[in-house]
Amino acid sequence: MNLPKLRNSKLFEEAFTHRSYLNEAKRRIASNERLEFLGDSIISFVISNYLYVRYPDFDEGNLTNLRSLMVNTKSLSGIARELQMGLLLKLSRGEEESKGRENETLLENSFEAYVGALFLDQGLSCVVKFLDNSLFPKIQELVDRKAFKDPKSLFQEKIQAEKHGSPLYKVLEETGPAHAKVFRVGVFVDGKKFGEGLGKSKQIAEASAAKAALEQKS
């Protein structure tokens, strides 16, 4: 898709101006940080509303996980890359030399700043239309892959579908000092171990064990 044009050219320029460029600019210009702040909040609101309406059977946890997947750096920078936003960035020579146009964080920030600028320029309905074309199509793919579910939930569903008993997580080992323990956890079903995982907390280790169990069964 093409990037919708803004009526206000100054807003468009600001949306793609990295703070590193300010010292090299020959005239007074603002960076995209304020627009990024605004756009971040707007994206979160629009996606939250979309998910709430689109998936009425999802609980709060699933909605939160799905939203997090959609607004993370990898997701937003990927869309910014598809829209070739990197080519529009105004960067310092240093950022340019360090391949700032390909930097995921800078791309994510530029996407958020552009959304903030689009909101100020044309209103919320245009933002919704833009996200409907650029971001929303990727949501159903995540839902189909159940990528928004944590490994423990996915393993539980898989085991239940196979008519087994519920997974049991056991701490197999604790290592390290009290302030920096590392837990090794195993996940068992009907007495058989399906996977192990390590983590700085029991919860992290359990999720790691469930992920290992899923990989074993795939």
CATH number at residue 200: 3.30.160.20
Q: 188 lies in which domain range?
A: 151-217
From the candidates 40, 95, 121, 206, give the one annotated as an active-site residue: 40
pLDDT value, residue 162:
87
The arithmetic mean of pLDDT across residues 93-103, rounded, is 89
Average pLDDT, the chain: 91
The arithmetic mean of pLDDT across residues 142-147, rounded, is 78
pLDDT value, residue 187:
96
Query: Are residues 41 and 126 part of one domain?
Result: yes
Q: Please report whether residue 2 resides in a domain.
A: no
From the candidates 14, 36, 112, 121, give the one annotated as an active-site residue: 112
Continuous H helices in the chain: 9-15, 33-54, 60-71, 73-82, 93-97, 104-122, 124-134, 137-144, 151-161, 202-217
pLDDT digits (tens, 9 = 90+) for 147-199: 777 788 888 888 888 888 889 999 999 998 888 899 999 999 999 999 999 99
- Catalytic residue status for 112: yes
Q: What count of residues does the chain have?
A: 218
pLDDT value, residue 42:
98
- Catalytic residue status for 95: no
Query: Are residues 43 and 135 part of one domain?
Result: yes
Query: Are residues 204 and 135 part of one domain?
Result: no
| 88 compared with 163, residue with greater pLDDT | 88
The domain tally of the chain equals 2
pLDDT value, residue 218:
63
Instruction: In whole angstroms, give the CA distance from residue 175 to residue 160.
Output: 32
Query: Are residues 17 and 106 part of one domain?
Result: yes
Most confident of 13-27, 31-45, 54-68, 168-182: 31-45
Model confidence band, residue 142 (pLDDT cutoffs 50, 70, 90) = confident
Q: Could you tell me the CATH number of the domain that includes residue 73?
A: 1.10.1520.10
